[in-house]
Chains A and B, each alone.
Chain A
Amino acid sequence: MITLIKKMNIVQSKSIETSLKKKSRPAETIVHSLLFFCGVISVFTTIGIVFELGKEALLFFKMPEVTIFKFLTGSTWQPAIGEFGILPLLSSTLITTCIAMIIALPLGLGAAIYLSEYASPRARKILKPTLEVLAGVPTVVYGYFTLTVMTPFLRWTLGSENVQVYNMLSAGLVMGIMILPLVCSMSEDALHAVPRSLREAAFGLGATRFETAVKVVLPAALSGIIAAFIISISRAIGETMIVAIAAGSSADLTLNPLHAAETMTGYIARISGGDVAYDSPEYNSIFAIGLFLFLITLTLNLLSRKISSKYREVYE
């Protein structure tokens, strides 16, 4: 009897063993590795950007008339006579970006506070998609708008003798309008994430709506809002079409926003849009500028992530 049970046990455990043995599924393995490859492509893209831009930029810096020091500190950009100082391009990029930020940051934040703290669900339902539409308009359309509406308007109000046909001010203003929805939607997400209980506590203490929004909700969402601001700056620095169309095409070092001055992205677009021979100094120089641009925006993006994760206030 005991042997019989033992035997049955053996038979049973054997059959269980065979049925539970992990089947080899080649399809699963193949799909797994294919999907892994898809995920890794993004890493290759980054490596590709750094490698290719670096390679061409190296060719540029190998030229006898160029040194990294002169590139970063020179105040003349005239490829024709071998002067490659990035300051004129950099200064106009910074000026247009500053103008854009003066428009986009306060207005975007104001709109975010309105949508998150004041607007009725009905108003939100109409206003938010409209701002999303504004964010979806292609940048070339904004460029057209700058040249045909904003610039004539500025020349009419400030006098056409003061404002040049291509100028940094109108490009910066329209860029601000373009970035406004980005600031608004990212800040609104941050404000929205602040728990209701905080607001109710503030109301309970007798705060007005404005006091609640600015003294309680805003500080609580500050990390997200600063992250949004930094992302917007990075976006403005990398914006191309508006400045290529409306900011001018001469690399002048000027601080007057009413004058024309070419930005880094505008230069890249102009040089590559014409028929420039490969391996000419101009051609190589766009990669040096591109690498510089990439490093600036990468730093800003990393900074924004760091701030939003490090200073985030976590609530239950």
Chain B
Amino acid sequence: MNHSMAHDPFENHGNLPGRHRISKIWLNSFFLSTTIGIISLSILLFSIINQAFGYVIVENKVDPSTLSSVPLNDLQKEDLTRILKENVSKNRYKTINRDTPIADMTSNDLVQLITNEIIKPTTVKSYFLIPSLFQKEQIIKTQWEEFPDAKIQFRSWLNWNFIRNSLSTNPDATGIRTALLGSLWIIFITIIIAFPIGIGAAIYLEEYSSNNWFTRIIKTNIDNLAGVPSIVYGMLGLAVFVRSMNNITSGIIFGVNQTNGRTIISAALTMSLLIMPLLIINAHEAIRAVPASLRQASYGLGATHLQTIWHHVLPSAMPGILTGSILAISRAIGETAPLILVGASSFINKDPNGIFSNFTVLPIQIYNWTTRPQAEFRNVSAAAILVLLFALLTLNTFAILLRNRFAKNKVI
């Protein structure tokens, strides 16, 4: 230890109760700093749940009771078809029939269709969960005074229709299907691209590279790349994949009819570059943790370098590599800024159907909804955040389970 101990580091050592008091005060403040993190996390989750559920006041354009005397759900298919026919214009009916033949629809689909086409419910006011639970009387009073024709209902903004519907400008009818599919596509392609290259680079660094200046440059470079702000990767993606490689990433040279390079493949390539340093660092660590005796035993039995890596090093490092990869992937799922640069156009309600489709992803949708002025979009945003957090939580739980399993089986 090379501190100079010239002065007495524990001055006032006669005053023991005083020293213990100071120690106690600081212990409490250290504990407080730890709990502030946890309190913030609780407030964060609570505020999201608070906004994702609650009472809404809904105004119908057409009162359902004027359409039929019994509730729509109890009606037979023929009656529902008749109601639809009577209340929408002929052209509209034709369009609907052309998209999906009405004869093929179930009565549930028809009720849904009638609700969207004729009744057209609009949310005029929405409440958070806490006021909904504790100030119900007041909400009912407001409804009586301000919206006498409207109805009050308790709504979970996170519902099956929300997951299933595509994007819409109406907060009541909007959904995240397009964004969810976009996220899945991008993550899938990112894994395909980044996983082999990342692990390959880690194997190279640990098993093949000699300790020369070039290897040191690669290592320093990877560490620095891990600290580059994600938005800079977005700019790289915009300049290289979207613009310079426009012909390839838009699929024009493959005969795909696409106008620009703002496609899933561009986004996935950008994301791959973004998570690559993280992947390499984690995989490198996992491979380094494989005991040298395993390699020596393999060589001793006459295996080649490649055989040793493939049959012994990789399988034994795999749980560690997978844990690191899952963490890298969950980073990619939540990343927003680079995709804003690569994706830009925000209103896309067509499902992606290949790597050359335009896209939107869940975080970009959350960003768009959050920045809209209408209060209802905040509710929608909260519901989408719940979906995103659920996906991340599932992935992280999986990673932790994997890590624990790995720790148990580890032979030292």
A interface with B by C-beta (< 8 Å): 25, 27-28, 31-32, 34-43, 45-46, 48-49, 52-53, 55-56, 106-111, 113-115, 118-119, 127, 129-131, 133-134, 136-145, 147-149, 177, 180-181, 184, 198, 205-211, 214-216, 219-220, 231, 234-235, 237-241, 244-245, 265, 268-269, 272-275, 278, 286-287, 290, 293-294, 297-298, 300-302, 305, 313, 315
Contact = CB atoms under 8 A, between A and B. Distances in A.
A216 B9 contact: yes
B224 interface: yes
A140 B47 contact: no
B273 interface: yes
A190 to B, nearest CB: 16
B83 interface: no
The 10 A-B pairs of least Cβ separation, nearest first, read A238-B229, A138-B334, A110-B33, A38-B200, A210-B23, A114-B30, A35-B204, A240-B337, A38-B201, A301-B227
B323 interface: no
Given A42-B280, A49-B236, A118 B23 contact: no
B33 to A, nearest CB: 3
Given A52-B236, A211-B19, A275-B345, A145 B47 contact: yes
B137 to A, nearest CB: 24
Given A118-B31, A206-B13, A245-B371, A287 B235 contact: yes
B304 interface: yes
B276 A42 contact: yes
Q: Mostly helix, strand, loop or mixed at chain B's interface?
A: helix
Contact of A297 (B229, B243, B370): B229
B97 to A, nearest CB: 36
Nearest to B31: A114
Contacts of B177: none
Contacts of A275: 344-345
Given A130-B41, A147-B370, A301-B227, A111 B304 contact: no
Contact of B334 (A41, A140, A205, A298): A140
A115 to B, nearest CB: 7
A149 B197 contact: no
Nearest to A214: B26
Interface string B11-40: 001000001101100110111111011101
B150 interface: no
A287 B231 CA distance: 11
B363 interface: yes
Contacts of B231: 238, 240, 265, 268-269, 290, 293
Interface stretch (B98-106, B115-123, B139-147, B215-223): B215-223
11 contacts: A38-B198, A43-B217, A138-B388, A141-B385, A144-B366, A216-B9, A244-B367, A265-B337, A269-B340, A294-B228, A315-B1
Contacts, number: 276
Interface residues of B, number: 93
Given A141-B366, A234-B227, A39 B340 contact: no
Contacts of A198: 1
B205 interface: yes
A117 B358 CA distance: 52
A46 B221 contact: yes
Contacts of A110: 29-30, 32-34
B227 A39 contact: no
A42 B277 contact: yes
Contact of A208 (B23, B218, B223): B23
B167 interface: no
Given A45-B273, A137-B41, 12 more contacts: A28-B305, A43-B221, A45-B276, A52-B240, A107-B37, A111-B30, A138-B388, A211-B23, A215-B10, A231-B227, A238-B229, A273-B346
